[in-house]
Amino acid sequence: MIETSQDLPLWAHLIRVLAVFLFFLAGTGLLTWGERRLLGRMQARLGPNRIGPLGVGQFLMDAVKMLFKEDVTPGMVNRPLFRLAPLIGVVAAITSMAVIPISGPLEIGGYIFPLQVADLGVGVLWVLAIGSIHVYGLFLAGWSSNSPYPLIGGVRSSAQMISYEIAQGLAVASVFIYVGSLRVSDIVNAQAGDGLWAGMPGWFVVPLFPAFVVFLVGMVAEAGRTPFDLAEAEGELVGGFVTEYSALRFGLFMIAEFMGAITQSAIMVTLFFGGPSGPTFGLEGTAAGLLGFVWFALKTLFFVFFFILLRGALPRYRYDKLMELGWKILIPIALVWTMVTAVFVLLAEQGGLATEARVGLAVGAVLILALLLFVRPKGDDDAPSDPASTDRSRDIDTPAHTVAPPADSTTTGRNG
């Protein structure tokens, strides 16, 4: 039996907090090295290779450099908010981890508990609420800088977060409607055992695949990673909201970005891939719990790898296309799928559905969502050209300086 948090002694709480914090903190440090190393190989170069084996100690040197570098604060900034903004993103990323279980139940000192800081009854809402606080740090950084490019970056980040948080929230709504609980441990336990067919995992990525796709795109936008890093956009905004920052404060924004990528990957694993659940190979007790930690780390690493591949393979999205993707595609799909999930749950409560019926309904719902993707209102790019505008094909054939003679004029020349 898993002990409740009220039954655990203080040392057990300390173990849980330290284990979860060190897991995400170590993952953030290794991600800063691993991303540079992998991008280097994708771009036919070595990447970090001087400090430690394969350059793995480079992130420690970067942290030391950020810590001791001169911190320059421009004179025109709003100093209290300018100094507060970098802390918001880091605090939001750290506190989001509190409800994520990173292992199965462990038996230590006669107590059985998972490595999870707090199993709140509204755990999913905690993730959504704390995640939405992150955007305050970006906007305040841009606004308090009193500079044009940071302000534009802050406004962009606000619009982007609002757009994609709606779609992401609807995708998460499909999950807790399907489970019937907001508690994260209930969501993880509901994915244990077989799925639609015997031998398949019970992960929600299969029955809730459209919600998974929406959440996948939304988590990239929420983390502010390529191709959705419009708030920084070095080619357009120099550095966006971090243009006026340097030294440790700039490093805090960088840490928050990498930590956000790991946190979003962990949330994805928890909601759609069973969290720490996986084959136990006959192990029981603490050994099975530690194996669950390994499964959780591998699943999270897969999505972190996905983040890195996106950065190395895709160009930055155009801003109007970013908004169109969020409002015209992802939000309608997530809204329709939330209603479809509610119908599934209602029919199941009324008497149950056979596996074939559930698969048929799911396929029909996916086809409806596919129609939403391809049958869209004609946008500005598809609008017919203005009749008064110049015919470009004619301009190519006829030089602009050529003037046709009047119809009734007599042509004179050397041979006339």
* Chain segment 101-139, per-residue pLDDT in tens: 888 888 777 778 788 888 888 888 888 888 888 888 888
CA distances from 348 to 189, 205, 246 (A): 19, 19, 56
For residue 13, the surrounding DSSP H or E stretch is helix 10-42
Query: Which comes out higher in pLDDT, residue 3 or 133?
Result: 133
Helical ranges in 79-208 per DSSP H: 79-96, 123-144, 148-179, 184-190
User: Distance between CA 151 and CA 114 in Å, rounded?
Assistant: 43
**Percent share of the chain, pLDDT over 90:** 5
Number of domains composing the chain: 1
Least confident of 73-77, 289-293, 305-309: 73-77
Q: Which of 39-53, 173-187, 308-322, 358-372 has the highest mean pLDDT?
A: 173-187
- Kindly tell me if the per-residue pLDDT of 392 is higher than 50: no
Residue 268, pLDDT score: 92
pLDDT band at 360 (very low <50, low <70, confident <90, very high): low
Is residue 74 reached through a cis peptide bond, with omega within 30 degrees of 0 on the bond before it?
no
Residue 409, pLDDT score: 45
Return mean pLDDT, the chain.
Answer: 78
In a domain, 35, yes or no: no
Residue 269, pLDDT score: 92
Least confident of 4-8, 333-337, 382-386: 382-386
pLDDT band at 320 (very low <50, low <70, confident <90, very high): confident
Name residue, tokens 């609807």.
170
Query: Which comes out higher in pLDDT, residue 2 or 26?
Result: 26
- Kindly tell me if the per-residue pLDDT of 29 is higher than 60: yes
Query: Which comes out higher in pLDDT, residue 174 or 366?
Result: 174
> Span 205-222, mean pLDDT?
87
Other Cβ atoms within 10 Å of 281 Cβ, number: 8
pLDDT band at 196 (very low <50, low <70, confident <90, very high): low
- Kindly tell me if the per-residue pLDDT of 393 is higher than 60: no
In a domain, 209, yes or no: yes
pLDDT band at 84 (very low <50, low <70, confident <90, very high): confident
User: Distance between CA 208 and CA 173 in Å, rounded?
Assistant: 11
Q: Which of 1-5, 225-229, 284-288 has the highest mean pLDDT?
A: 225-229
Residue 370, pLDDT score: 64
User: Distance between CA 43 and CA 377 in Å, rounded?
Assistant: 39
In a domain, 86, yes or no: yes
User: Distance between CA 49 and CA 58 in Å, rounded?
Assistant: 8
- State residue 111 phi and psi, 5-degree precision: -110, 140
In a domain, 243, yes or no: yes
User: Distance between CA 413 and CA 416 in Å, rounded?
Assistant: 5
Q: What's the burial of 382, exposed, middle or buried (CB within 10 Å: 0-12/13-18/19+)?
A: exposed
In a domain, 207, yes or no: yes
User: Distance between CA 337 and CA 335 in Å, rounded?
Assistant: 5
- Kindly tell me if the per-residue pLDDT of 65 is higher than 50: yes
Least confident of 3-12, 62-71, 386-395: 386-395
- Kindly tell me if the per-residue pLDDT of 80 is higher than 80: yes
> Span 16-30, mean pLDDT?
86
> Span 9-38, mean pLDDT?
85
- Kindly tell me if the per-residue pLDDT of 406 is higher than 80: no
In a domain, 292, yes or no: yes
Task: Note down the domain range covering 235.
Answer: 73-100+119-376
Within 8 A by CB and 6+ apart from 146, the residues are: 76, 77, 78
Q: What is the pLDDT of residues 260-288, one digit of tens each?
A: 888 889 999 999 998 888 777 777 777 87
For residue 106, the surrounding DSSP H or E stretch is strand 106-108
Residue 302, pLDDT score: 92
In a domain, 195, yes or no: yes
Within 8 A by CB and 6+ apart from 143, the residues are: 78, 81, 150, 151, 154
In a domain, 65, yes or no: no
Which tokens is 306 given?
Answer: 């996905």
Least confident of 122-126, 142-146, 178-182, 282-286: 282-286
